[in-house]
Amino acid sequence: MTQANFQPYGLFIHTHNDLAFELSDQLGFEDEAGALAVSIFEDGPGTMHVQALFDTEAAAEAALANLSLGDEVERFITQLPDEDWVSLSQSGLPPVRAGRFFIYGQHDADKIPDDAPYTVRIEAGLAFGTGHHGTTKGCLLMLDNMISAEENPKRVLDLGCGAGILAIAAAKAFGRAVLATDIDPDAVMVTQQNADVAGVAGLIDAHIADGFNAPVLRDQQFDLIFANILAGPLMGLAPDIARALAPNGKVILSGILDELWPEVSATFEAQGLTITPQPTLSGWTSLLGVKPA
């Protein structure tokens, strides 16, 4: 769309948290109708709004049809006022500071602070993958703590990498190769593109993988694993994650609603890990897991 101002069609969906993230992922990475921007907003305990912008009503309707929503999910399509909506969707995501890390869009390139050693440019489009969500910021803060403790893991995995922000941050911080995997081929492509923009393309090895069921992960062990997914999938992957951790290895678990972290913690403790919950961020709790020597 070349016009600065136009009247896009907005697809709005109101649903529970887990489905909201799944829908935003589908619209952001999988939608062939071409969403201009996708955002996700908290809307009280347990519910969220997903907003996707399209240049035509037909494109919005096609995207909605592809989602196969149940009748209980509230949704509607409406034409929005004449505004520069793509720019607004980007400028509405302010830069994020998480310890030594500064996450920004190109529209905020002039705001990079001098005391931020690790900057990562991630453009708006899928809000869950931009660093603005409490789960991603929680992971970055834990990574910052590891740097403060002068830890330097040699083998790092970003499991379910999304836009690749954690893999890129780790590659910048540790100056070594990071393996990034995701079940979505488009997520792998976006990760590679973002790594190139960040100047660490040579350090990011991105692959399509469904959990640990992929040759690139077979018989591998890691000193650090990022697993910023959701509580349910995390608990299902607990045995595989524990096996994939090297002795003294650490896993950063995120995507966990505050009320669910005790259950996730117990699941990983049953695998022999020591779990430490981190301070809540916007209703989300991240966990640090450590495998014994």
The interaxial angle of helices 165-174 and 134-148, nearest 10 deg, is 10
- pLDDT bucket at 2, cuts 50 / 70 / 90: very low
With 50 as the cut, is the pLDDT of residue 3 above it?
no
Give pTM, 2 decimals: 0.73
Copy the structure tokens of residue 169. 């941050």
Per the prediction, the chain carries an average pLDDT of 84
Copy the structure tokens of residue 171. 């590659």
With 70 as the cut, is the pLDDT of residue 8 above it?
yes
CATH entry 3.40.50.720 includes domain 134-290: no
Copy the structure tokens of residue 118. 């690790």
Residue 126: predicted pLDDT: 45
Boundaries of every domain in the chain: 9-85, 134-290
With 70 as the cut, is the pLDDT of residue 50 above it?
yes
With 70 as the cut, is the pLDDT of residue 130 above it?
no
At the top level of CATH, which class does the domain 9-85 belong to?
Answer: alpha beta
Q: Whole-angstrom Cα distance, residue 133 to residue 237?
A: 22
Residue 155: other Cβ atoms inside 10 A:
17
The interaxial angle of helices 231-244 and 261-269, nearest 10 deg, is 20
Q: Of 5, 3, 194, nearest to 88 (Cα)?
A: 5
Residue 232: predicted pLDDT: 85
Mean pLDDT value across residues 137-164: 94
Residue 184: other Cβ atoms inside 10 A:
19
Residue 219: other Cβ atoms inside 10 A:
7
Least confident among 19-23, 257-261, 276-280: 19-23
